[in-house]
A = this chain, B = another copy of it.
């Protein structure tokens, strides 16, 4: 059976040695060369000092105690953990990607600008939007940008709308981003079949409504079939329709947010476009908009004229900047390479297969893990462990932890909250039928295992069940804080 590696877990600060790092010029320096103003000079610098050998050992061994897509199935619903192709790693290792400075003159960065420009166009085509900014660093950052654009748009039309309507099934970043931009968030409940409740939507809309934020397919993996009516309701109220692109992987080449009449959309390149998630980031969250919102996009805009690319900062209606420079360029290069590799046909095939995999896997699991809503699903689906909980006292959390013992990452759990004991499963298109069959078999096996074994899982990971309550209570966030406390856990 699967067993994760376990290594010595001392902190790097708790190891002993002598650094063998070396620098040119250092030996020749005299104190005179380095005038540090009085009062500003540091007296204590309590960092470890280790030879590179120890550092490499430490982090190679740490890495073995971490699970990534490259280790196996990572069916984390809503996160689209597909395979990250290795040619993209290679490209970002080139100096022509990683060794260019953002303040270089335009004529020295034509390659970078070309790739960004073509990526913008490709994203326009994929989303059916008219213009794209690549600046936001992540999905939530894209949402925030979208909310700033919404604000600018309405202000430009002389309106100070101050509410954003969001379904209760939405990802937490949606309300948080809207709030950050100063909006009051109005949450509407989902209908009984897990979709937008048109009546509730209508009721929530008013002349205060700036936008309605949804994702389609929604977080249950259900396509909002009433999307045309929804768009109409929103637009009739004078609000904008915002598309959370986290679920774009379900529909490429089949429909577009543009076609569905969305006004603003963000992309998660680290989901749909196969860039690695890096244990939490970096990502990239470009934002696409319809023509009428284009003037408000962040500066600079990449302009192509006479086969020369340039950066246009002279955009008076722009919201300005949402971060430094032009976006997470190295991530953008990866995504662009992925799009070129896949092509229009390949992206459509990816979505088709993602939906097929999802529906196929759902079918295998349905008997044991009932679906709250018996619809055709798109690229992900939510099942419930409620039956298991009632019959054997096994909760969604327990199933998740037990899956780790079999060498799978767990699905997303307890989200969306409208499903009891939710397990949100997104296999993605890069998994084989064989993998899905094996995963389904394990899911079923878990349901029939000794509940005690399941509840006390995981057993095969580097550590056993982690005490999250203690962590929150103590809030020890650094070795410095830990030492200050003077006590330790057994380690």
Say yes or no: is A3 at the interface (Cβ < 8 Å to chain B).
Answer: yes
Known: A6-B3, A8-B407. A64 touches B61 (CB 8 A): no
Interchain CA distance A18-B433 in the complex, whole Å:
10
Which residues of B have CB within 8 Å of A430?
51, 53
Set B1, B54, B57: member contacting A71, Cβ < 8 A: B57
Check if A6 sits within 8 Å of B16, measured CB to CB: no
With A3-B4, A57-B70 known, 6 other A-B pairs at CB within 8 A are A7-B71, A17-B434, A50-B432, A51-B432, A57-B72, A93-B93
Nearest 10 CB-CB pairings of A with B: A53-B83, A3-B6, A5-B5, A17-B432, A16-B434, A60-B70, A53-B430, A56-B70, A64-B64, A57-B70
Set B18, B50, B83: member contacting A56, Cβ < 8 A: B83
Check if B15 sits within 8 Å of A434, measured CB to CB: yes
By a beta-carbon cutoff of 8 Å, the part of chain A in contact with chain B is 1-8, 15-18, 50-54, 56-57, 60-61, 64, 70-72, 83, 85-86, 93, 407, 430-435, 462
Which residues of B have CB within 8 Å of A85?
52
Across the interface, name the chain B residue whose C-beta is closest to A432: B17
Chosen A-B contacts, 9 in total, with CB atoms closer than 8 Å, are A4-B5, A5-B5, A18-B432, A52-B83, A53-B430, A54-B435, A56-B86, A57-B71, A60-B70
Across the interface, name the chain B residue whose C-beta is closest to A16: B434
Which residues of B have CB within 8 Å of A3?
3-6, 462
Report A23 CB to chain B, min CB distance, Å.
13
Across the interface, name the chain B residue whose C-beta is closest to A438: B8
Set B53, B60, B72, B434: member contacting A61, Cβ < 8 A: B72
State the copy count for this chain. 2
Which residues of B have CB within 8 Å of A71?
7, 57, 60-61
Check if A6 sits within 8 Å of B15, measured CB to CB: no
Across the interface, name the chain B residue whose C-beta is closest to A462: B3
Which residues of B have CB within 8 Å of A64?
5, 64
Across the interface, name the chain B residue whose C-beta is closest to A4: B5
Across the interface, name the chain B residue whose C-beta is closest to A428: B53
Which residues of B have CB within 8 Å of A1?
6
Report A417 CB to chain B, min CB distance, Å.
32
Interchain CA distance A115-B71 in the complex, whole Å:
39
Interchain CA distance A17-B353 in the complex, whole Å:
14
Across the interface, name the chain B residue whose C-beta is closest to A50: B432
Check if A7 sits within 8 Å of B407, measured CB to CB: yes
Across the interface, name the chain B residue whose C-beta is closest to A63: B64
Which residues of B have CB within 8 Å of A15?
434
Across the interface, name the chain B residue whose C-beta is closest to A1: B6
Report A62 CB to chain B, min CB distance, Å.
11
Interchain CA distance A214-B407 in the complex, whole Å:
50
Which residues of B have CB within 8 Å of A435?
54
Which residues of B have CB within 8 Å of A8?
2, 407
Check if B54 sits within 8 Å of A432, measured CB to CB: yes
Report A382 CB to chain B, min CB distance, Å.
24
Which residues of B have CB within 8 Å of A407?
7-8
Report A94 CB to chain B, min CB distance, Å.
10
Report A86 CB to chain B, min CB distance, Å.
7
Interchain CA distance A86-B20 in the complex, whole Å:
13
Interchain CA distance A52-B338 in the complex, whole Å:
14
Of the candidates A53, A407, A434, A435, the one having the most CB atoms from chain B within 10 angstroms of its own CB is A53
Which residues of B have CB within 8 Å of A50?
432
Report A111 CB to chain B, min CB distance, Å.
18
Interchain CA distance A60-B64 in the complex, whole Å:
10
Across the interface, name the chain B residue whose C-beta is closest to A434: B16
Which residues of B have CB within 8 Å of A54?
432, 435
